Amino acid sequence: MDVKPKLSLVIPVFNEVANLFVLYDRLGAVLKPLGVSYEIIFVDDGSTDNSWAFISELAKNDQQVRALSFSRNFGHMLALTAGLDAAHGEAVITLDADLQHPPELIPELVRAWQNGAEIVNSVRQDTVGAGIFKKVAADFFYWLMARLTKINLPANAADYRLLDRKVVETLKEMKERSRFLRGLISWVGYKQEHIPYQAAARFSGRTKYSFSKMLAFAVDGLASFSPFPLRLATYLGLLGSFSSFLYIIYAICVHLFTSQTIPGWTSVLVAVLFLGGVQLIFLGVIGEYLSRVFDEVKARPLYIVSRKIGL
Ligand code: UDP
Ligand code: MG
């Protein structure tokens, strides 16, 4: 099919074989009545189950299904990136494969786009079945991002959104490795709209975001958009220097005007250990930023595609 479709759907897939059929079915039910041409691009992020075989089977029977497969697991953000790179549509919708992003919202996204919005974000109201821990952690993260960065992330933004072709082209220009997409989306500007939706529980399987992946994601988001952790070292250093300066004056006065000496040992040891700890922490913080610079300088490809269908 050489005619450019109007709508591209980009779906990252990492071991989601049990969700794919229902997803495909519900997408079809929503997309066909819309009456616009579309393509569905599955990005297989190094799945080890039968996801790829299943997608190939779908593609055999449906011209509108395209797919690419990574040579290994590169992560959700890079899967989305590859999908955006491959998409042909005038508008691109990204959604998860686990049906937490209900396909039934697509007509609303498209309508907002047709009414002039260039980015249509979805904002989840409530995730059925999400643990309290995940909710609290997410709230804290969005609070922190709002305080520390200049970008304006809507709380509970999901990676379920529609992007106009213009926006997709802009994102393609941004080749940075740390792809905290919701941050980049907020950063690019454009006419944005937000549509609330009720997030469903995962249809099948477990979340692919372990605690450590979530933490890495959060650190990535923060480090890509805020130099504040680095600046914090300066502030703490200033505070430390200033208070020790006051203490020096106090110590000299005590020496000059009284016959006492200031007792030491414990306070010395505490101060040394505390400062040593703080210095190590900030060496770590510098390391975080430095390793990101190192990654950028190496300039390796963002992802490696091993197989393609219809692209
Ligand atoms: N995913 C991916 N690569 C990964 C992890 C996840 O492509 O390394 C996909 C996954 O298949 C799903 C989407 O990203 O379609 C969101 O993942 P998940 O549902 O596990 O995250 P959660 O909704 O729990 O935040
Ligand atoms: Mg999910």
Q: What is the CATH number of the domain that holds 189?
A: 3.90.550.10
Q: Is the pLDDT of residue 44 over 90?
A: yes
Contact assessment for residue 60 and residue 53, using Cβ atoms and an 8 Å cutoff: no
Strands (E), the chain: 7-13, 38-44, 65-70, 91-94, 119-127, 157-164, 192-199, 305-309
Residue 65 and residue 132 in one domain: yes
Q: Nearest C-alpha to atom 23 of ligand 1 is from which residue?
A: 207
3 confidence band (pLDDT: 50, 70, 90):
low
| Residues 136, 197 share a domain | yes
- Whether 228 is in the pocket of ligand 1, judged by its Cβ within 6 Å, is no
Residue 98 in domain: yes
What type of residue is 7?
A: L
Supply the Cα-derived Rg of the chain in whole angstroms: 25
User: Rounded CA gap, 208 and 199, in Å?
Assistant: 17
Residues in Cβ contact with 185 at an 8 Å cutoff, skipping those fewer than 6 apart: 119, 121, 161, 163, 167, 171, 192
Is the domain of 185 the same as that of 277?
Answer: no
Q: Is residue 2, in this structure, part of any structural domain at all? A: no
User: Which of 13, 14, 93 is the pocket-test mutation for ligand 1 (most atoms within 8 Å of CB)?
Assistant: 14
In a domain, 240, yes or no: yes
Whether residue 286 sits in one domain with residue 165: no
- Residues 125, 260: one domain? no
Burial of 218 (0-12, 13-18, 19+ CB in 10 A): middle
pTM, entire model: 0.81
Query: Out of 24-33, 37-46, 260-269, which region has the weakest mean confidence (pLDDT)?
Result: 260-269
pLDDT (0 to 100) of residue 130: 65
Q: Are residues 254 and 204 in the same domain?
A: no
| Residue 1 binned pLDDT confidence (cut-offs 50, 70, 90) | very low
- Same domain for 142 and 233? no
CB neighbour class for 287 (10 Å; exposed up to 12, middle 13-18, buried from 19) = exposed
221 in the same domain as 234: no
Q: For residue 252, what are the domain limits?
A: 228-298
> Is pLDDT above 70 for 2?
no
Q: Indicate whether 109 belongs to any domain.
A: yes
Same domain, 169 and 208: yes
Which tens digits make up the pLDDT trace of 51-75?
Answer: 999 999 999 998 899 999 999 999 8
CA 67 to centroid of chain Cα atoms = 22
User: For residue 155, is it within any domain?
Assistant: yes
73 lines ligand 1 (CB under 6 A): yes
Mutate to test the pocket of ligand 1, among 15, 40, 74, 76 (most ligand atoms within 8 A of CB): 76
Q: Whose CA is nearest to atom 24 of ligand 1?
A: 207
Question: Candidates 72, 96, 213: which one to mutate for ligand 1, based on the most atoms within 8 Å of Cβ?
Answer: 96
Task: Give per-residue pLDDT as tens, 135-151.
Answer: 888 888 888 888 888 88
Ligand lying nearest the CA atom of residue 11: 1
Residue 159 sits in the same domain as residue 270: no
Average pLDDT in the 107-126 region?
90
- Is the confidence at residue 269, as pLDDT, over 70? yes
pLDDT at position 46 is 92
Tell me the C-alpha distance between 13 and 28, whole Å.
18
**pLDDT of the residue at 95:** 93
Assess whether the C-beta atom of 182 lies below 6 angstroms from ligand 1. Answer: no
Neighbours of ion ligand 2 (CB under 5 A): 96, 98, 100
Is 48 domain-assigned? yes
pLDDT average, residue stretch 168-181: 88
> Which ligand 1 atom sits closest to the C-alpha of 73?
8
pLDDT at 275: 84
CA triple 8-161-192, angle to 5 deg: 115
Total number of domains in the chain: 2
Cα three-residue angle 80-86-89, rounded to 5 degrees: 100
pLDDT of 172 above 50:
yes
User: C-alpha angle 105/110/116, rounded to 5°?
Assistant: 135
Residue 302: pLDDT above 70?
yes
For residues 115 and 253, membership in a common domain is answered with no
Task: Pick the atom of ligand 1 nearest to 130's CA.
Answer: 24
pLDDT value of position 128: 62
- pLDDT at residue 27 tops 50: yes
In the predicted model, is pLDDT for residue 78 greater than 90? yes
Residue 1 lies in a domain: no
- Residue 227 pLDDT level (bands cut at 50, 70, 90): confident
Q: Are residues 194 and 267 in the same domain?
A: no
91 belongs to a structural domain? yes
